[in-house]
């Protein structure tokens, strides 16, 4: 079981990454009621932050191996970092640089790193669910699950449970007894709308139970609680239990995208979410346990690491124009170019 300092380190690295990415995306943007800056944005296109949800990524991914696979959402930076992707190559990818994890072609919403088992973020809500199920079926057919205990983890938001792929993926996973852990990051808001206004019933865990898929609900701002729950579920799946679902109740601190001030949200609800911040509460726990020096060191190291990643990404070259004609498929022959 990972100790609290290790979990805190992962959370702090994610927060520092998201803060830097947010700043880099806001220059030159005139959207969502904001005035354009004279400084051009270093990150172009939509950027969805996972600020506030770090405890879920840290607590779950602490129990994964490189050989385990993972699918993510449009809010996937934290999952990618927690799965072990290189922070500098990730920042380069957000900046659209040739040295990015995907050569600058994926950007924020489609970042992936197969070398650590991260199959990709996804700009389509719920799209990661059937991809995860397909990957899990592949592990089972090839015997990798049986021989190595490899599993798939699928992160998705509460907004995804109202889309068809959610029920289809869970049903398929149960019918074929697949080694997949579904993780619902329930932040109570779907883009710009409160989820409760358009979601019938108690939510993800109840819908999973209706299909005979065991589900556990946990406080997603408590990294230790997430870690303990995830450890049990991962262990069961590795042992051949079939699919499981972790329903993590968490908070999204920011607007839907990085240039969205979120003025449509109830200020009291936002204040309550900030007061539940998983990083702040973990910091208090660690300081009370006598780890104040270690906490400060972790925070300083994370900021130094992210500052260096931003500097490298800013100076890195853009992809050559010819790269636009690689990593594509000839639909006539099926060959990859």
Among 73, 171, 194, CA closest to 122: 73
Which CATH code fits 4-24+41-315?
3.40.50.970
Q: What is the CA radius of gyration of the chain?
A: 20
pLDDT of residue 285: 97
pLDDT of residue 235: 98
Q: Which residues of the chain have pLDDT under 70?
A: 27-39
What end-to-end distance do the CA atoms of the chain give, in Å? 44
**Residue 227 near residue 63 (C-beta atoms within 8 A):** yes
pLDDT of residue 328: 86
Q: What is the pLDDT of residues 276-295, one digit of tens each?
A: 999 999 999 999 999 999 99
CA distance 185 to 250: 6
Domain boundaries, the chain: 4-24+41-315
Quote the pTM value.
0.94
pLDDT of residue 337: 74
pLDDT of residue 168: 98
- What are the backbone dihedrals phi and psi of residue 61, each rounded to the nearest 5 degrees, phi first? -70, -15
pLDDT of residue 172: 98
Residue 196 token pair: 């409760």
Q: What is the pLDDT of residues 70-123, one digit of tens each?
A: 999 999 999 999 999 999 999 999 999 999 999 999 999 999 999 999 999 999
pLDDT of residue 36: 47
Strand order in the sheet with 152-157: 118-120, 69-71, 152-157, 180-186, 244-249, 215-219
The neighbour count for residue 232, using CB atoms within 10 Å, is 14
Residue 249 token pair: 């109740």
């Amino acid at each position: 079981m990972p100790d609290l300092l290790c979990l805190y380190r992962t959370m702090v690295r994610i927060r520092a990454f998201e803060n830097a990415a947010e700043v880099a995306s806001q220059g030159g943007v005139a959207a969502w009621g904001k005035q354009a800056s004279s400084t051009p944005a270093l990150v172009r296109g939509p950027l969805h932050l996972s600020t506030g949800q770090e405890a879920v990524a840290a607590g779950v991914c602490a129990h994964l191996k490189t050989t385990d696979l993972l699918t993510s959402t449009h809010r996937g930076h934290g999952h990618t970092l927690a799965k072990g992707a290189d922070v500098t190559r990730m920042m380069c990818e957000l900046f659209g640089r040739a040295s990015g994890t995907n050569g600058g072609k994926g950007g924020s919403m489609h970042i992936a790193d197969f070398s650590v088992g991260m199959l990709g973020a996804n700009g389509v809500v719920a799209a990661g669910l059937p991809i995860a199920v397909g990957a899990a079926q592949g592990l089972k057919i090839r015997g990798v699950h049986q021989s190595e205990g490899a599993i798939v983890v699928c992160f998705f938001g509460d907004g995804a449970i109202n889309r068809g792929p959610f029920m289809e993926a869970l049903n398929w996973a149960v019918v074929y007894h697949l080694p997949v852990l579904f993780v619902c990051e329930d932040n109570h808001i779907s883009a710009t709308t409160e989820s409760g206004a358009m979601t019938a019933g108690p939510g993800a865990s109840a819908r999973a139970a209706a299909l005979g898929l065991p589900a556990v609900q946990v406080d997603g701002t408590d990294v230790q609680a997430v870690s303990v729950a995830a450890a049990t579920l991962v262990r069961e799946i590795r042992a051949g239990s079939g699919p499981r679902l972790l329903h993590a109740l968490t908070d999204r601190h920011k607007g839907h995208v990085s240039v969205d001030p979120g003025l449509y949200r109830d200020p009291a609800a936002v204040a309550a979410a900030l007061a539940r911040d998983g990083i702040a509460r973990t910091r208090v726990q660690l300081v009370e346990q006598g780890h104040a020096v270690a906490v400060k060191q972790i925070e300083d190291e994370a900021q130094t690491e992210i500052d260096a990643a931003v500097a490298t990404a800013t100076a890195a070259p853009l992809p050559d124009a010819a790269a636009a004609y690689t990593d594509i498929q000839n639909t006539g022959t099926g060959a990859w170019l």
